[in-house]
Amino acid sequence: MSGLPILSLITFTPLLGALLIAFLPSSQPNLIRRVALGTALATWVLSLILFVAFTSQQAGFQFKEAADWIPSFGIQYKVGVDGISLLMVLLTTTLTWISILASFGPIKDRVKGYMVSFLVLEVGMIGVFVALDLFLFYIFWEIVLVPMYLIIGIWGGANRIYATMKFVLYTLVGSLLMLVAIMATAFAFQAAHGSWAGAFDFEQLQRFAASGSFGNNFQLLAFLALFLAFAIKVPMFPFHTWLPDAHTEAPTAGSVILAGVLLKLGAYGLIRFAVPLFPYAAHTFAWPIIVLSVIAIVYGAIVSIVQPDLKRLIAYSSVSHMGFVTLGIFVFTAPALQGAILQMINHGLITGGLFLLVGVVYERTHDRSIAKMGGLAAVMPLWSTVFGFFILASAGLPGLSGFVGEFLVFVGSFTYAPAIAVASIIVMVLAATYLLWMFQRVAFGPVSDFLSGLGDRLTDMSRVEFMTLAPLAALIVVLGLFPSLVLDLLNGPVQTFLAAAGVAVGG
């Protein structure tokens, strides 16, 4: 791996695929699909090579690449990975090729534009996770917005324009706040050093923050701006209202990426930038954020119970599950933070699978109403079996990956504030309630009149549909039985995070 720009290869291979597809004739959609899938698979293989070459015992960022971009302002193209960003890159590349494969059947119009959008989206998502320059991070963050806007706005459902505008407006507000915080941070660094060199370099800024050079009042304002940007993307309560509409109107693969990766951008930003750079402010705002996280956990579960639409139910369950992530971040204990990061991975795999399964039924019925789906187990037994597996994983069944992440958050939260942990544990009962009740209504009982009227159109899962779900199911089992595969990668980054956050504790 010496001298090989592996991170740049992973980041920009999808862009090469998008450029190649742009020159292919639109009249050959099958060729376009194969090129898109081949590009995504090549990116995935590169990420697996990165995983194999990564050294978990080595501290700091690995495979760093740096080149001057705008030298007069100290802006660089600088990338690198630690255990956290490595896991996020693997999650992104895995879900991208699965989503593209899952789009082969449903996406029949404007295939060329769709595949280009998806590959450009992958460039932005990977770039966010590997960027070590704040300006570069912001550029990749903004790149993500455009293809997601197109994917929902062009290939989405009947109310896609409303959902897209809501998604864009929320995200743009957060992006502007982030840009203000980034520029203010760079100006503060430049004022202290008399030079722009390193003003956007995360590693230099982190050392600057560790020395206590950011004033307390500055930290409060800068952290608040970053927090609002990341909280909107998570999304935390009460900034979550764009999510159910975006999920409901997005095509199936769009929902998979939205839940599996895009929501993680906000949580990653909190872990990577907001807390380490502004620890005093992070501790100052910790309790309000913890309270909002618990509200999100409870609120998401309660609202999910009454949802009549399968997609909206899963969307609101994401609000609840991501509440565990933000809770784990801001209790500032090692088990809770490990659990939060593991939960980010678990949520991507499990909820991505659930959206794929809803998409399978929607392609046959063109409906997502729970009330109309009664008796699916009788006509789609394979689908119902796989759906039941993902439901149990989402409910936190021991032995599957969903259990481990939430358990670690509970343990870490209990040492911080027992009442918070107890309140979160109670929600697990609500989660089992709405998930199992939904599954019972959809899978069992007599076949509904609506399904009976579909006749031979209601077929079980195809081979391709099963292929999109099998890797996710395998990973859920493997990580449930062997969570150390992930946790071993997190020991160093978690200790680094806690050391950075501990600056405020000492004074």
DSSP labels, 226-278:
HHHHHHHHTTPTTS-THHHHHHHHS-HHHHHHIIIIIHHHHHHHIIIIIHHH-
Calpha distance 127→301 (Å, rounded):
32
- The alpha carbons of the chain give a radius of gyration, in whole angstroms, of 22
Read off the pLDDT of residues 407-425 as tens digits, 9 standing for 90 and up: 888 888 888 888 887 877 7
What's the pLDDT at 33? Answer: 93
Number of C-beta neighbours around residue 157 at 10 A: 15
CA dihedral 371, 374, 377, 379 (to 10 degrees): -110
The answer to whether the beta carbons of residues 327 and 290 sit under 8 Å apart is yes
- Do 199 and 73 contact (CB within 8 A), yes or no? yes
Instruction: Return the SS3 of 103.
Output: coil
By C-alpha distance, which of 163, 130, 116 is closest to 265? Answer: 130
**Closest by Cα among 281, 458, 317 to 396:** 317
Which residues of the chain fall below pLDDT 70? 1-2, 503-507
The residues that bridge with 68 in the sheet, in sequence order, are 76
The pair phi, psi for residue 201, each rounded to 5°, is -75, 115
Indicate the residue type of 499. A
For residue 65, give the 3-state DSSP assignment: strand
Start-to-end CA span in the chain (Å): 42
Among 293, 279, 177, 280, which Cα is nearest to 226's?
177
Give the three-state DSSP class for 341: helix
Residue showing tokens 């490990």:
338
Q: Which two tokens stand for residue 226?
A: 């970053």
Let me know: does 287 contact 415? Beta carbons within 8 Å.
Answer: no
Q: What is the pLDDT of residue 471?
A: 94
Q: How far apart are CA 93 and CA 96, in angstroms?
A: 5
Where are the chain's structural domains?
A: 1-274, 285-507
d(CA 459, CA 442): 16
- Rounded distance, CA 238 to CA 235, Å? 8
Task: Give CA–CA dist 407/307, Å, rounded.
Answer: 27
Are 402 and 346 spatial neighbours (Cβ–Cβ below 8 Å)?
A: yes
Sign of CA dihedral 228, 230, 233, 238: negative
* pTM, two decimal places: 0.92
Q: Which candidate, 409, 399, 390, places its Cα nearest to that of 341? A: 409
CB 8 within 8 A of CB 67: no
Q: Which residues contact 385 (CB under 8 A, 6 or more apart)?
A: none
pLDDT in tens, 452-469: 777 777 888 889 999 999
Q: CB-based contacts of 225: which residues, under 8 Å, 6+ apart?
A: 177, 178, 180, 181, 184
* pLDDT on residue 2: 60
